[in-house]
């Protein structure tokens, strides 16, 4: 008999207290170098680059979810023997960071202009050193198995060099150009924004109809931005619009200004909208800009970069939102307001960083010509080099990349990568690559690049590009990019474009996994204004990293958002506690991996059943991991752990251990083996608790570097399974009967079972008695009640001495309910079988199945009726 090693019962504390041990465990992993990848190993590579969080950011639930996913993927591959690299870092977040530091300066009564560009940038670096990157420490608390030795920052020297290199390459290839266009302008940030940095919302506004000109030749236009009329240079109508045909080519007087403007015909005007005549302000509206180009109209800018009106007498110096009512009032005074609609709900663009209403503005900016890049990015997904998970979202990706507008990359900021273009005294232009010098006396373009420009290089710049480093050769293309579907466009599309371009057509990642968005328990978006934000740090404190991670992974159904609430985390915490207690109990009973699991011939039905279930679980988990099905994977692990291992096997194992001798030793080996495998399977999702438990069970160094389980290869014993399921059904029916009869769960009841041999359960009498709390009858046994349980092999009759009055009413109620169900079943089956079309056309196995169901139902009805008839009256 195996000695129970003493330390196994004492090593594990009574309860799992994550807060007390997580930090130390994590530091141990880092110190051991488990997360540091070696480019020179001969293992197959696996690489994930962390979508770099903002240097100003802190961990929110969306990060926590994404990190859980990436960590689980990486940890599993590491266990599978891959050279696993998860590479961390941050982006410099141009606008956000500059805003933060400017606010800091403002509190000192300073502006960035007081400091000047160089000193301001130095100040930003100081800020970063002190406050930046809080999120990196929070990632440690989540348990991220990240290679900290490779941490990168988009403004680092190496990455800045990558930015300059690719800019020069694009410029030389004619894919970067400078042009004056209408761009999205944030008057608060005072910079250009790209299309995707603008968020549209339906806002209350006004629709004002204004009469231009006078008399028969007058024309009415409608606008939501009345103040822009100061910059109108035409009125446009549809060429086929009979109402206005006579006016085309004539001029009207623009009110308030005295200017005369032409009426032009343009096919892009919608005759159905408003009056069918539109005012044209080429300097302040993208559509109008196009009309202006087609008709060679001048563009008059009437606002400065802060949104303040710059001309036109009484309106000069007014903010755009003050100017709007002022202009309307002035027009009304002239009797030119024909109609006003207020509120008028229409889509308004807002700055995604500061929510200020975006102003379309005519301005000279740098652009990326995206057409060839976007086409390549689309093709990489179309031809399967990069796979999108879930695949439905690929369509959205195509919609985007196939209709992409050129990308404005210049930003009127100081914090960022300065555009490497220099201007000569006579307007010459030169783009300067790394290691090149601009001609003396030339001046550099003052603008910096969009942060996303450098982030788009992340999958290869972090690995050393443009140098041909060992890391780049080994880990590019990366394996998986994981992110929320909401930033599919920010991340995936741009990384794809630049990755393919810089790396000679090799895609930056093989798989793109897109997870859903985090919502509250009612499915509402989390937002500060709603007050429904859950802070992951709060959950980490109160429930532990494993519970937080398990909750997130368990909710990650492909393509759909995830609702979160306190109860979810508590449920995961409970799961961890269950796992803890089950393992502790197994160890207290001598569970071990020191002795091998005996041959199957030596094992009981229960042993084979739980081992076969474990094999099935291994295969299922592998399949689900490969398909990025995290919710199902967690459910499978949860179900096996709790419903099969804890609820049944551990109870059956108690009986086997009580038997002593070789049976007990075999059971200890099975317990040890199942826990060893189960803990390894759980480790990628819940790394901390599995580390402690796995070491206690196996005595191994660390589950982080343990081998990923594979199925045993033995074929499943289906008759063992049938018998265990028979035990389960019998035990459950007896418990149900006891509960109906009001017998306390713990109370032993004298019982006599017959038909056990026919049901092939003769080996399981002890287990049935233990689980159903039965005891053997004495000589003078007098049954006061009985029940019948139909099993595949035969019906087991259980006679019980309830030693009290029997609740005949409860029994009748139960039997009647069962009878109703059986009768319904019989009717359904007979209806089908009575339909010749069904028996002719349905597959044979389906018909056979229905026949069996009919026979079972008929037998059930007969049996239940007999029992009801035998029941005493009352």
Partner RNA sequence: GGGCGUAUAGCUCAGCGGAAGAGCACUCGGUUUACACCCGAGCGGUCGCAGGUUCAAAUCCUGCUGCGCCCA
Residues at the annotated binding site for ATP? 528
The DSSP secondary structure of 575-610, one letter per residue, reads: HHHHHHHHHHHHHHTT--SSSPPPPGGGS-HHHHHH
> Please, are residues 673 and 597 in contact by the beta-carbon 8 Å criterion?
yes
CB atoms closer than 10 angstroms to residue 812:
15
Binding piece for RNA, criterion CB under 7 A, among 72-80, 469-477, 503-511, 556-564: 556-564
Taking CB under 7 A as the rule, does residue 171 contact RNA? no
Binding piece for RNA, criterion CB under 7 A, among 492-500, 551-559, 760-768, 788-796: 551-559
Q: What's the min distance (Å) between Cβ of 598 and RNA?
A: 23
Applying CB under 7 A, the site for RNA has a residue count of: 71
Q: Which member of 375, 382, 396, 851 binds RNA (CB under 7 A)? A: 396
Residue among 389, 630, 629 at smallest CA distance from 509: 389
Dihedral sign for Cα atoms in the order 502, 503, 504, 506: negative
Binding piece for RNA, criterion CB under 7 A, among 63-71, 291-299, 561-569, 613-621: 561-569
Q: Which helix (H) or strand (E) holds 696?
A: helix 687-698
Q: What's the min distance (Å) between Cβ of 578 and RNA?
A: 5
Q: What's the min distance (Å) between Cβ of 835 and RNA?
A: 5
Taking CB under 7 A as the rule, does residue 841 contact RNA? yes
Tokens of 352: 């995604």
Taking CB under 7 A as the rule, does residue 830 contact RNA? no
CA distance 277 to 271: 7
Site for RNA in 598-637 (CB under 7 A): 631-632, 635
Strands 83-87, 152-153: pairing kind: unpaired
CA distance 851 to 67: 51
Q: Which helix (H) or strand (E) holds 782?
A: none
Cβ-based nearer residue to RNA, 151 or 561? 561
Binding piece for RNA, criterion CB under 7 A, among 79-87, 594-602, 732-740, 760-768: 732-740
Q: Which member of 505, 803, 849, 855 binds RNA (CB under 7 A)? A: 849
Tokens of 869: 């008839």
Q: Which member of 31, 202, 504, 780 binds RNA (CB under 7 A)? A: 202
User: Is the bond leading into 390 cis (omega within 30 degrees of zero)?
Assistant: yes
Taking CB under 7 A as the rule, does residue 529 contact RNA? no
Place of tokens 């000279």: 364
The DSSP secondary structure of 142-197, one letter per residue, reads: HT----GGG-EETTSHHHHHHHHHHHHHHHHTT-EEEEEEEEEEETTTTEEE-GGG
Q: What's the min distance (Å) between Cβ of 631 and RNA?
A: 7
φ/ψ (deg, to 5) at 477: -70, 150
| Residues contacting 626, CB < 8 A, separation 6+ | none
Widest distance between CA atoms in the chain: 118
Q: Which residues pair with 750 in a beta bridge?
A: 775, 801
Taking CB under 7 A as the rule, does residue 844 contact RNA? no
> Please, are residues 77 and 105 in contact by the beta-carbon 8 Å criterion?
no
Strand, coil or helix: 688: helix
Q: Which member of 180, 399, 538, 602 binds RNA (CB under 7 A)? A: 399
Q: Which member of 4, 104, 577, 722 binds RNA (CB under 7 A)? A: 577
**Binding string, residues 806-825; x marks residues near RNA by CB under 7 A:** -----------x-------x
Q: Which member of 94, 499, 536, 555 binds RNA (CB under 7 A)? A: 555
Cβ-based nearer residue to RNA, 148 or 642? 642
CA distance 701 to 74: 19
Taking CB under 7 A as the rule, does residue 647 contact RNA? yes
Site for RNA in 252-271 (CB under 7 A): none
φ/ψ (deg, to 5) at 461: -65, -35
Taking CB under 7 A as the rule, does residue 863 contact RNA? no
Binding piece for RNA, criterion CB under 7 A, among 259-267, 313-321, 394-402, 460-468: 394-402
Taking CB under 7 A as the rule, does residue 701 contact RNA? no
CA angle (808, 811, 817) in 5-degree steps: 140
Q: What's the min distance (Å) between Cβ of 35 and RNA?
A: 29
Cβ-based nearer residue to RNA, 110 or 842? 842
Cβ-based nearer residue to RNA, 33 or 792? 792
The DSSP secondary structure of 361-379, one letter per residue, reads: EEEEEEEE--HHHHHHHHH
CA distance 561 to 809: 48
| Residues contacting 470, CB < 8 A, separation 6+ | 39, 40, 464
Binding piece for RNA, criterion CB under 7 A, among 186-194, 214-222, 690-698, 840-848: 840-848
Site for RNA in 318-347 (CB under 7 A): 347
Q: What's the min distance (Å) between Cβ of 852 and RNA?
A: 8
Taking CB under 7 A as the rule, does residue 389 contact RNA? no
Taking CB under 7 A as the rule, does residue 650 contact RNA? yes
Q: Which helix (H) or strand (E) holds 637?
A: helix 630-639
Binding piece for RNA, criterion CB under 7 A, among 102-110, 142-150, 370-378, 741-749: 741-749
User: Is the bond leading into 343 cis (omega within 30 degrees of zero)?
Assistant: yes
CB atoms closer than 10 angstroms to residue 249:
10
Q: What's the min distance (Å) between Cβ of 593 and RNA?
A: 19
Residue 591 half-sphere exposure toward CB, CA atoms < 13 A: 25
Q: What's the min distance (Å) between Cβ of 845 and RNA?
A: 8
CA distance 868 to 874: 12
Cβ-based nearer residue to RNA, 261 or 545? 545
> Please, are residues 386 and 507 in contact by the beta-carbon 8 Å criterion?
yes
Dihedral sign for Cα atoms in the order 736, 737, 743, 747: negative
Site for RNA in 13-32 (CB under 7 A): 15
Site for RNA in 467-526 (CB under 7 A): 486, 489, 519, 521-523, 525
| Residues contacting 523, CB < 8 A, separation 6+ | 561, 563
Cβ-based nearer residue to RNA, 138 or 750? 750
Q: Which member of 5, 39, 158, 571 binds RNA (CB under 7 A)? A: 571
Taking CB under 7 A as the rule, does residue 109 contact RNA? no
Site for RNA in 215-244 (CB under 7 A): none
Taking CB under 7 A as the rule, does residue 182 contact RNA? no
Taking CB under 7 A as the rule, does residue 384 contact RNA? no
Residue among 553, 548, 556 at smallest CA distance from 573: 548
Q: Which member of 58, 209, 301, 557 binds RNA (CB under 7 A)? A: 557
Site for RNA in 581-600 (CB under 7 A): 581-582, 584-585, 588
Taking CB under 7 A as the rule, does residue 732 contact RNA? yes
Residue 17: is it exposed, middle or buried by C-beta count within 10 angstroms (0-12/13-18/19+)? exposed
**Binding string, residues 766-795; x marks residues near RNA by CB under 7 A:** -------x----------------------
Q: What's the min distance (Å) between Cβ of 733 and RNA?
A: 8
CA angle (452, 453, 458) in 5-degree steps: 80
Binding piece for RNA, criterion CB under 7 A, among 303-311, 429-437, 562-570, 718-726: 562-570
Q: Which member of 385, 853, 865, 867 binds RNA (CB under 7 A)? A: 853
Binding piece for RNA, criterion CB under 7 A, among 259-267, 325-333, 576-584, 659-667: 576-584
Q: Which member of 200, 245, 246, 293 binds RNA (CB under 7 A)? A: 200
Q: Which member of 58, 257, 722, 856 binds RNA (CB under 7 A)? A: 856
Cβ-based nearer residue to RNA, 704 or 772? 772
Taking CB under 7 A as the rule, does residue 659 contact RNA? no
Site for RNA in 46-65 (CB under 7 A): none
């Amino acid at each position: 008999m195996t000695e129970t090693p003493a330390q196994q019962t004492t090593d594990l504390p009574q309860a799992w207290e994550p807060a007390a041990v997580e930090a130390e465990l994590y530091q141990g992993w880092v110190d051991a170098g488990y997360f540091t990848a070696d480019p020179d190993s001969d293992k197959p590579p696996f690489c994930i680059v962390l979508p770099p969080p903002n240097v100003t950011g802190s961990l929110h639930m969306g990060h926590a979810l994404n990190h859980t996913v990436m960590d689980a993927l990486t940890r599993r591959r590491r266990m599978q023997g891959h050279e696993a690299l998860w590479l961390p870092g941050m982006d410099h977040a141009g606008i956000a960071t500059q805003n933060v530091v400017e606010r800091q300066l403002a509190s000192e009564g300073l502006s960035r202009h007081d400091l000047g560009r160089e000193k301001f940038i130095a100040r930003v670096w100081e800020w970063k050193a002190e406050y930046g990157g809080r999120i990196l420490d929070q990632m440690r608390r989540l348990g991220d198995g990240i290679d900290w030795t490779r941490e990168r920052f988009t403004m680092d020297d190496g990455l800045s060099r990558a930015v300059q290199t690719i800019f020069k390459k694009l410029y030389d290839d004619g894919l970067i150009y400078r042009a004056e266009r209408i761009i999205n302008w944030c008057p608060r940030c005072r910079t250009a924004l790209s299309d995707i940095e603008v968020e549209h919302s339906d806002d209350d506004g006004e629709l004002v109809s204004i009469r231009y000109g006078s008399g028969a030749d007058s024309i009415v236009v409608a606008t939501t931005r009345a103040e822009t009329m100061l910059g109108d240079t035409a009125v446009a109508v549809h060429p086929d619009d009979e109402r206005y045909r006579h006016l085309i080519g004539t001029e009207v007087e623009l009110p308030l200004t005295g200017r005369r403007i032409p009426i032009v015909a343009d096919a892009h005007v919608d005759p159905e909208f408003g009056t069918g005549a539109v005012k044209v302000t080429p300097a302040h509206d993208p559509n109008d800009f196009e009309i202006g180009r087609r008709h060679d109209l001048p563009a008059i800018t009437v606002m400065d970069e802060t949104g303040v009106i710059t001309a036109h007498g009484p309106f000069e110096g007014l903010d755009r939102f003050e100017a709007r009512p002022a202009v309307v009032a002035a027009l009304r005074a002239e009797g030119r307001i024909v109609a006003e609609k207020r509120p008028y709900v229409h889509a308004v663009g807002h700055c995604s960083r500061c929510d200020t209403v975006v102003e379309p503005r005519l301005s000279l900016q740098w652009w990326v010509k995206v057409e060839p890049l976007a086409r390549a990015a689309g093709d990489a997904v179309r031809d399967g080099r990069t796979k999108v998970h879930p695949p439905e979202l690929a369509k959205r990706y195509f919609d985007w990349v196939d209709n992409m507008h050129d990308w404005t990359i210049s930003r009127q900021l100081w914090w960022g990568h300065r555009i490497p273009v220099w201007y000569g005294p006579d307007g010459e232009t030169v783009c300067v690559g790394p290691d090149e010098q601009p001609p003396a006396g030339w001046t550099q373009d003052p603008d910096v690049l969009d942060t996303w420009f450098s982030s788009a290089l992340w999958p290869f710049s972090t690995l050393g590009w443009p140098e041909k480093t060992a890391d780049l050769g080994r880990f590019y293309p990366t394996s998986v990019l994981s992110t929320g579907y909401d930033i599919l466009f920010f991340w995936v599309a741009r990384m794809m474009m630049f990755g393919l371009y810089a790396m000679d057509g090799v895609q930056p990642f093989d798989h793109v996994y897109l997870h859903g968005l985090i919502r509250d328990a009612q499915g509402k978006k989390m937002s500060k204004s709603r007050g429904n934000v859950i802070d992951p740090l709060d959950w980490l404190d109160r429930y532990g990293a494993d519970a937080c991670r398990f909750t997130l992974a368990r909710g990650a159904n492909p393509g759909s958002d995830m609702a979160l609430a306190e109860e979810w985390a508590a449920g995961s915490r409970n799961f961890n506690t269950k796992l803890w207690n089950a393992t502790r109990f197994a160890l207290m009973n001598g569970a071990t991996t020191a002795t091998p699991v005996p041959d199957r011939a030596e094992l009981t039905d229960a042993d084979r059943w739980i081992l076969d279930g474990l094999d099935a679980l291994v295969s299922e988990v592998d399949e689900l991991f490969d398909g990025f099905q995290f919710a199902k994977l967690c459910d499978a692990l949860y179900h096996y752990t709790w419903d099969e291992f804890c609820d049944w096997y551990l109870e059956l194992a108690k009986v086997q251990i009580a038997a002593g001798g070789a049976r007990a030793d075999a059971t200890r080996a099975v317990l040890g083996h199942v826990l060893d495998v189960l803990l390894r399977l759980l480790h990628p999702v819940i790394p901390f608790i599995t580390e402690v438990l796995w070491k206690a069970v196996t005595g191994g160094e660390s589950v982080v570097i343990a081998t990923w389980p594979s199925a045993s290869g033995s074929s499943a014993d289906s008759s063992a399974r049938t018998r265990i399921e028979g035990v389960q059904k019998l035990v459950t029916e007896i418990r149900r009967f006891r509960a109906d009869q009001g017998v306390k769960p713990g109370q032993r009841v004298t019982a006599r079972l017959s038909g056990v041999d026919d049901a092939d359960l003769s080996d399981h009498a002890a287990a049935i008695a233990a689980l159903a709390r039965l005891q053997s009858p004495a000589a003078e046994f007098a049954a006061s009640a009985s029940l019948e349980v139909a099993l595949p092999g035969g019906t087991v009759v259980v006679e019980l001495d309830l030693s009290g009055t029997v609740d005949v009413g409860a029994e009748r109620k139960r039997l009647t309910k069962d009878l109703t169900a059986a009768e319904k079943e019989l009717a359904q089956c007979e209806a089908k079988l009575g339909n010749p079309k069904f028996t002719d056309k349905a597959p044979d196995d389906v018909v056979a199945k229905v026949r069996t169901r009919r026979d079972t139902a008929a037998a059930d009805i007969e049996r239940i009726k007999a029992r009801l008839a035998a029941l005493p009256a009352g």
